[in-house]
């Protein structure tokens, strides 16, 4: 009985629990139904629900314009090609170390000796010197000092031939060397050498174009002398700041703002800052290549044809691209193009980029003289000519 009473109490409690659970389930079902009755049908489209329409194709908003492609700002323009006036500088050369094999050779290094043929036109005996009393001034040209320079003997001539055959640069002075390359005479000048100066010497008496001889330009400090402008002195010439003539249609070798250059000066404004100028022309090397008369210089057509094709002696001047070197050259038996090729080839051999060159007076007016030891001698077998001006390289005081 006791156990039965306990069982009844348990079952009664269980029953009550079951009843409570069923009541809760009924209540839950009623709540769900009530919620569904308030939820709108899925087929209806409620007014407050966003319409899922196919969107209009995306447009570029007016407030955000398509940006212009990136452009070069005006403050920073596209860089132009490397300007010509600032080329890579040529290394400063020890010109005295230059040879037919290149530069950097010492006196003990073996160099093949050239068999110099007739084309260099080197005299076997001292060339005849002109008797020009009018322009010499008489006494000055007979002074012991002048005679000591010009009385060239056999020993001097042998030294000249040895220098020509050696295929080594013969140093006339620091920064100035003489070299014969494939039968062409060259004087190569380091324009940055502080102990030398270049001068245009013009007769101080008579009218423009008065003739004199290279001996008039000789002095104890003279190292090299060449002829320059044509008879008449019709090119652009300045000497020691004094203007002798300005020709806007012919080329010149000139110094402007302390720099040597070759070109055709067209205006007085361009010519005004020039301090020294040697007239000549036409130009025959431009931008490192043979280019005859590229600026249509004012010469007679027959004269231009002669300058281009003549095999007779010629005198020229060239500058390197960095304007550090001047090359004075004289040849015999070559056309002007062959002469140009020789200059360019020598520059390439020595690491000097030749940029421009012009012709000076030539034929029987050609003159290239230089100091060999204590004497001054012409390197061409031509009688001393009568000329209108000199290009002189001298020792600076």
* Mean pLDDT in order along the chain per 10 residues (397 residues): 45 50 56 46 36 35 36 38 49 91 94 67 76 53 71 88 93 97 96 97 88 90 97 95 95 97 97 97 98 98 98 97 98 96 98 98 96 92 93 93
CA distance 225 to 198: 10
CA distance 280 to 149: 28
Please give the model's pTM, rounded to 2 decimal places: 0.76
Q: SS3 for 265? A: coil
Which residues, in sequence order, are CB contacts of 361 under 8 Å at separation 6+?
227, 228, 229, 230, 231, 280, 315, 387, 388
Residue among 363, 381, 333, 346 nearest 177 (CA): 346
Specify if 76 maps to a domain.
no
Specify if 117 maps to a domain.
no
At 122 the pLDDT is: 84
Specify if 379 maps to a domain.
yes
What count of Cα atoms within 13 Å lies in the side-chain half-sphere of residue 191?
A: 20
Specify if 195 maps to a domain.
yes
Q: Can you give the residue range of the structural domain that contains 274?
A: 124-395
Look up residue 372 and give its two tokens: 């060999």
At 80 the pLDDT is: 40
- 73 φψ region: left (φ > 0), alpha (ψ -120 to 50), beta (else): beta
CA distance 363 to 311: 9
CA distance 192 to 394: 14
Q: SS3 for 350? A: helix
Name the one residue in this structure whose structure tokens are 């324009």. Answer: 191
Q: Look at the alpha carbons of 192, 244, 278, 382 in this order and tell me if their dihedral is positive or negative.
A: negative
Look up residue 150 and give its two tokens: 């010009």
First to last CA, the chain: 152
At 129 the pLDDT is: 74
Look up residue 103 and give its two tokens: 């530069």
CA distance 345 to 249: 29
At 154 the pLDDT is: 87
Specify if 360 maps to a domain.
yes
CA distances in angstroms from 28 to 14, 31, 38, 39, listed in the order given: 21, 5, 16, 17
Which residues, in sequence order, are CB contacts of 116 under 8 Å at separation 6+?
122, 161, 164, 165, 180, 183
CA distances in angstroms from 266 to 230, 250, 279, 321, 356, listed in the order given: 19, 9, 13, 21, 17
Specify if 115 maps to a domain.
no
CA distance 314 to 363: 6
At 346 the pLDDT is: 98
Beta bridge partners of 286: 289
The count of structural domains within the chain is 1
Look up residue 189 and give its two tokens: 């000048």
At 241 the pLDDT is: 84
Q: SS3 for 59? A: coil
Beta bridge partners of 177: 171, 188
CA 269 to chain centre: 24
Specify if 167 maps to a domain.
yes
Specify if 116 maps to a domain.
no
CA distance 46 to 166: 111
Look up residue 382 and give its two tokens: 């031509």
CB-based contact 111:99 (threshold 8 Å)? yes
At 40 the pLDDT is: 41
At 206 the pLDDT is: 79
Which residues, in sequence order, are CB contacts of 171 under 8 Å at separation 6+?
95, 96, 177
CA distance 220 to 198: 15
CB-based contact 285:318 (threshold 8 Å)? yes
At 50 the pLDDT is: 33
């Amino acid at each position: 009985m006791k156990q039965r009473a306990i069982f009844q109490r348990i079952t009664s409690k269980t029953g009550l629990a079951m009843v409570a659970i069923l009541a809760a389930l009924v209540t839950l079902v009623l709540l769900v139904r009530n919620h569904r009755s308030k939820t709108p049908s899925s087929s209806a489209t409620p007014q407050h629900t966003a319409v899922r329409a196919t969107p209009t194709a995306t447009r570029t908003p007016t407030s955000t314009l398509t940006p212009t492609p990136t452009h070069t700002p005006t403050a920073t323009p596209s860089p132009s090609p490397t300007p010509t006036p600032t080329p890579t500088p040529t290394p400063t050369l020890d010109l005295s170390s230059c040879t037919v094999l290149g530069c950097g050779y010492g006196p003990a290094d073996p160099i093949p000796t050239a068999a110099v043929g007739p084309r260099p036109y080197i005299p076997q005996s001292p060339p005849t010197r002109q008797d020009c009393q009018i322009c010499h001034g008489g006494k000055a040209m007979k002074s012991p000092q002048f005679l000591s320079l010009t009385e060239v003997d056999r020993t001097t001539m042998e030294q000249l031939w040895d220098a020509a055959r050696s295929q080594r640069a013969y140093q006339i002075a620091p920064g100035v060397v003489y070299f014969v390359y494939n039968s062409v005479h060259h004087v190569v000048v380091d324009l940055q050498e502080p102990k030398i100066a270049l001068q245009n010497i013009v007769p101080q008496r008579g009218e423009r174009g008065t003739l004199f001889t290279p001996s008039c330009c000789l002095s104890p400090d003279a190292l090299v002398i060449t002829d320059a402008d044509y008879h008449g002195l019709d090119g652009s010439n300045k000497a020691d700041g004094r203007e002798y003539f300005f020709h806007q249609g012919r080329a010149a070798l000139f110094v402007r703002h302390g720099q040597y250059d070759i070109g055709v000066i067209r205006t007085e404004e361009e010519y005004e800052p020039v301090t020294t100028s040697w007239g000549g022309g036409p130009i025959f090397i431009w931008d490192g290549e043979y280019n005859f008369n590229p600026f249509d210089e004012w010469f007679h057509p027959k004269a231009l044809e002669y300058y281009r094709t003549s095999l007779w002696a010629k005198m020229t001047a060239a500058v390197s691209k960095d304007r550090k070197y001047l090359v004075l050259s004289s040849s015999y038996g070559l056309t002007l193009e062959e002469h140009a090729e020789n200059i360019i080839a020598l520059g390439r051999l020595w690491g000097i980029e030749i940029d421009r060159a012009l012709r000076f007076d030539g034929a029987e007016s050609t003159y290239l003289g230089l100091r060999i030891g204590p004497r001054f001698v012409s390197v061409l077998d031509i009688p001393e000519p009568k000329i209108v001006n000199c290009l002189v390289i001298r020792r600076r005081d």
